[in-house]
Structure 1
């Protein structure tokens, strides 16, 4: 899917705090392809669910694949993320329990995540000649104008909002 590139400079406009969730896996024993595929395919089901269930609270994401994968996602709140993780009807809890029961500690596949709650006053972003990406893709963007040309100015503006 081609994305439009926006010439010029833009900044993200979250308007409120953001929950940034990083998650990934590492194929420690990459030759165990069926195991790696089983663990990795669970994320595809989760993303499909979250894409068609906006009330779950995920605003957007980007992912990269390789021996170590990473998915960066943006959420309305940590509570939305935690609710999704614990929801018996959502496609996270069962695969996680399966992983913990069958693979945790085996060394075949590693999984990791980090969660950051970023107050609106601490958000600064700029994109130059990019498609909507990252936080801007999740919450929108506006052109950089006078008073928003430097990181310091954008941080000052986010604190004033």
Structure 2
């Protein structure tokens, strides 16, 4: 069981972050021959990314069900695209296998969304939670002076970046 951090915390990333959501939906449960290989592809990719930190993955969380969701944080969208197109990494072959074995037959749905988020636009808070999300992927710090409200947290980062630029 993960340690719960009592109280309120926020994330303190020192850089812009790319948030990548990806998942699949089993549209025809009675066709495991189509969806099991898709389910099995993601753990191989995550293992590769965890053992190759230079690929740019900062952290991730998974949720499973008929529709699955993987929330991940990346150093940049360039890192994400480089991983996706790297023939030495497990994604390219998994994508080719999906196109070859599933294609557009409607049995398995896949989706992803990518968001490049400048550090000055990030605002997060965690209350009575284990380390999670961006706070787990980067740095988690207690909410303190000047960071009690969402407006204060986002303005604090904006003030810091506007003073530099």
For normalisation by structure 1, the TM-score amounts to: 0.97
- Per the TM alignment, residue 146 of structure 1 is displaced from its structure 2 partner at its CA by 1.5
Match of 1:110 in 2: 109
Deviations 1:3-39 (A, max 9, x none): 1110110000112211000000000001112321111
For normalisation by structure 2, the TM-score amounts to: 0.95
Which structure 1 residue ranges, 5 or more long, are not aligned? none
Which structure 2 residue ranges, 5 or more long, are not aligned? 161-165
The answer to whether the 8 Å contact 2:34/2:101 transfers is: no
C-alpha distance in 2, partners of 1:63/1:123? Answer: 21
C-alpha distance in 1, partners of 2:4/2:139? Answer: 14
The answer to whether the 8 Å contact 2:5/2:130 transfers is: yes
- Which stretches of structure 1, 4 residues or longer, exceed 3 Å deviation after superposition? none
C-alpha distance in 2, partners of 1:101/1:160? Answer: 50
C-alpha distance in 2, partners of 1:30/1:18? Answer: 35
Match of 2:56 in 1: 57
Deviations 1:36-63 (A, max 9, x none): 1111100010001111110000000001
Match of 1:4 in 2: 3
Match of 1:134 in 2: 133
Paired positions, count: 160
The answer to whether the 8 Å contact 2:20/2:115 transfers is: yes
